Amino acid sequence: MLQINNLTNTVGGKPILKGLSLAINAGEIHAIMGPNGAGKSTLAYALGGRPGYEVTGGSVLFTPTSVRVEPGRDMDTPTVLDDARTERGAEPIDLLALDPHERAAAGLFLGFQYPVEIPGVSNLQFLREALNSQRKARGQEPLSGGEFIKLAKAKAALLNMDMDMLKRPVNVGFSGGEKKRNEMVQMGILDPKLAILDETDSGLDIDALRIVGAGINTIMRKPDKAVLLITHYQRLLDYVKPDFVHVLADGRIVKSGGPELALELEREGYAEVLAA
């Protein structure tokens, strides 16, 4: 689904990613851990196409998969969301050639460590514009107001979120935990193929962590989807079990392993594990 080859980039002229390679297949959940300043958030922003995170070398191929979900099996997705993406086959896309909004329409979702507040634009309006922009880019009909509200209600309920919060301006006055839950509601509504979640666990208390973890599993744990979790801590991985764990240090993946690697890091610290 995602093939990152020897990716290098600079932020403000300073090299951050220094030849990062990573392959993620459909149906997999990968976790990237690493010390502060290793380049974890930079990787997320570079993949999302944030201005100022200039890619200087390497390639990223994105292949939205063509696995079909049997009708009726995916209970929480309304039938109106029959997915044109699945009929396009599985041609790899040069992700870095796309603008940020085109990457989203291709099926990439970026969960922000610090979700942005947008005063004056309601969550519902924002999400409806976003979903219909993506659908338009994929040659699908826009959702009507009624269809959209039904979808939004279902996804908000999944994350224990009040519909009133969806009517409020985007993230304005939300607590840290509410912002993260709102990110997951957005992910549920936009229904991406690949989610890159940047420290989605930070700022969450134990209960919120469980809800968000369950949300990620429900929305993304599917044979045609994949997740890249960026996190400092093992605790989210108790709820969202990764298939692979990678250690990012000084702009490169320096170690990869199974879920046990996260436990080892938690127990012994980055310095110890990296030195070994």
Partner 1 sequence: MNALAPLPTRKAEAWRYSDMDAVARVWPVAAPQRIVVAAGESQTHTLLQDAPDGASAIHDYVIDVADGASCGFHVLNIGGKLGRVTFDVRLGAAAHFALHGAIIGGGEQTLEIVTTVSHAQPDATSEQTVRAILGGHATGSYLGKVAVARDAQKTDSSQSFKAMLLERTATANAKPELEIYADDVKCAHGATVGELDKSALFYMASRGIDPALAQTLLLRSFVAGVFDGIADEQTRAQFEAAALAKLEALNAR
Q: Is 126 in the site for partner 1 (CB under 8 A)?
A: yes
Instruction: Decide whether 134 or 200 has the Cβ nearer to partner 1.
Output: 134
Cα-based distances in Å from 27 to 10, 65, 225: 31, 10, 5
Minimum distance, C-beta of residue 133 to partner 1, in the bound complex (Å): 5
> Taking CB under 8 A as the rule, does residue 214 contact partner 1?
no
Of 112-120, 155-163, 227-235, 242-250: span binding partner 1 (CB under 8 A): 112-120
**Owner of token pair 């509504």:** 189
Q: Is 12 in the site for partner 1 (CB under 8 A)?
A: no
Smallest gap from residue 129 Cβ to partner 1 (A): 6
The DSSP element (H or E) to which 220 belongs, if any, is: helix 206-220
Token pair, residue 13, equals 């002229």
Burial class (CB in 10 A: 0-12, 13-18, 19+), 216: buried
Of 99, 260, 275, 276, the one binding partner 1 (CB under 8 A) is 99
Residue 50 vs 150, nearer CB to partner 1:
50
CB of 180 within 8 A of CB of 212?
Answer: yes
Q: Which helix (H) or strand (E) holds 178?
A: helix 176-190
Q: Is residue 51 part of the contact set for partner 1 (CB under 8 A)?
A: yes
Compute the distance between CA of residue 254 and CA of residue 196 in angstroms, rounded to an integer.
19
Query: How far is Cα 215 from Cα 158, in angstroms, rounded to an integer?
Result: 7
Q: How far is the CB of 37 from partner 1 (least distance, A)?
A: 21
Contact 32, 228 (CB under 8 A): yes
Kindly indicate which of the ranges 55-63, 117-125, 206-214, 218-226 contains the residues binding partner 1, using the contact rule CB under 8 A.
Answer: 117-125
Q: Taking CB under 8 A as the criterion, which residues in 166-205 touch partner 1? A: 169, 186, 190
- Contacts of 20 by beta carbon, 8 Å cutoff, 6+ apart: 4, 6, 7, 8, 39, 43, 58, 248, 251, 252, 253
- Give the residue with the Cβ less far from partner 1, 44 or 253: 44
Give the separation between CA 63 and CA 67, rounded to whole angstroms.
Answer: 12
SS3 65: coil
Closest distance between partner 1 and the C-beta of residue 52, in Å? 9
Q: Candidates 133-141, 151-159, 205-213, 245-253 — which segment interacts with partner 1 by CB under 8 A? A: 133-141
Q: Which of 7, 26, 93, 104 binds partner 1 (CB under 8 A)?
A: 104
**Residue 120 found at the interface with partner 1 (CB under 8 A):** yes
Name which of 13 and 119 has its Cβ closer to partner 1: 119
Q: Shortest Cβ distance from residue 165 to partner 1 (Å)? A: 17
**Which residues contribute to the site for partner 1 (CB under 8 A)?**
48-51, 99-101, 103-105, 109-110, 112, 115-121, 125-127, 129-131, 133-134, 137, 169, 186, 190
